[in-house]
Amino acid sequence: MKVKNIKIFSAILLVFIFNLIAPNMKVNASKNDDKYDLTISYGIDGKYKAQKYMPVTVQINNLEKDFNGEIELRIVSDYAGGYNSYSKEVYAKVGESVSVTIPVKFLDGNNSGTLCLVENDKVLYEKKFHVSSGRVSEGNALTGLLTDDATALGYLGDITYFDSSYSNVGRMNCVNIDESYLSENGLNIDVLDLIVINNYNMANLNEDHYSSLNNWVNEGGTLIIGTGANESKTITNINKNFLNISSEGTIERNVAITNENLNLILSQITLEGATVTNNSYGNKLVY
């Protein structure tokens, strides 16, 4: 597999690498009000970036009869009066609640769409929805955290940096993700600038997950993988077809980080074709 913009950290992630709750919109049908009860949420933890695909999740609650059709999201297109259609097939039994996530892209300046329930080519339900908040500015890095210990990475949200592209000080806007986001060929995570995998068992990922990550990276996303004390969860379990990396074990070393000397547990990494981009006292920190 061809993989680009992947960074490997030989230690547990520290400060040297460069919170809105998901908005829920309760929607009820204008007709047949008693048959359809829906909730829509968008983005990752309610955050998104303009002109990027973002996941929109539709939950249908307490159906009065079986439904076998499609959930369709219609988003305004470049053509006057036209729209782009995004849909998924759904089967739900009476009384059942189902949840479906569909990645969609809004045009810049447009934040409205239409939700339709379609069965046998007939629209049973139609309702407009509105993306009202949660947009992350282009100068900030929307960062997904795939980890078993999000608290340990809390400091990332305090990091700021100068973004020369926008001539301002940017920051990392962090959101928690799980493997369920790694689907739809990477479109659900298209909204993310970076993904940090740290202290996470990569044995949980299957071929579809790796394919989504690979597509996302090849489209310009940056993947950061932490190792060190948690290398048994990352390096040991990573799919070697995705990244052919190995370690000869860990060592404890004193390294200089942001004008401080710290004792870190470092992985002794072997990574074919890799270039060391950060080191301290001869210790390889970032590949």
Phi, psi of 209 (to 5 degrees): -65, -45
Query: Binning pLDDT at 50, 70 and 90, where does residue 37 land?
Result: confident
Contacts of 135 (CB under 8 A, 6+ apart): 47, 48, 49, 50
Are 186 and 82 within one domain? no
Asked which of 111, 130, 149 is the last residue of a domain, the reply is 130
pLDDT at 80: 73
Are 103 and 221 within one domain? no
What average pLDDT does range 28-49 have in this prediction?
76
pLDDT at 285: 58
pLDDT at 169: 76
Lowest mean pLDDT across 27-31, 39-43, 187-191, 230-234? 27-31
CA distance 278 to 209: 29
Lowest mean pLDDT across 20-29, 181-190, 223-232, 241-250? 20-29
For the chain, the maximum distance between any two Cα atoms, rounded to a whole number of angstroms, is 70
DSSP 22-72: PPEEEEE-SSSTTT-EEEEEESBTTBB-TTS-EEEEEEEE--SS-EEEEEE
Has residue 1 been placed in a domain?
no
Query: Structural domain tally of the chain?
Result: 2
Are 105 and 143 within one domain? no
1 versus 13: which is more confidently predicted? 13
Asked which of 82, 97, 130 is the last residue of a domain, the reply is 130
Of 182, 216, 235, 165, the residue nearest 11 (C-alpha): 235
15 versus 191: which is more confidently predicted? 191
Are 79 and 208 within one domain? no
Contacts of 101 (CB under 8 A, 6+ apart): 55, 56, 57, 58, 180, 183, 188
Are 258 and 139 within one domain? yes
Are 33 and 55 within one domain? yes
Are 166 and 264 within one domain? yes
pLDDT at 250: 64
What is the residue range of 122's domain? 24-130
Are 169 and 248 within one domain? yes
Are 14 and 152 within one domain? yes
Are 146 and 186 within one domain? yes
pLDDT tens figures, 251-281: 666 666 666 666 666 666 677 766 666 665 6
Q: What is the pTM of this model?
A: 0.80
pLDDT at 178: 94
Quick one: CA dihedral 81, 83, 89, 92, positive or negative? negative
pLDDT tens figures, 228-241: 777 788 888 888 88
CA distance 255 to 249: 18
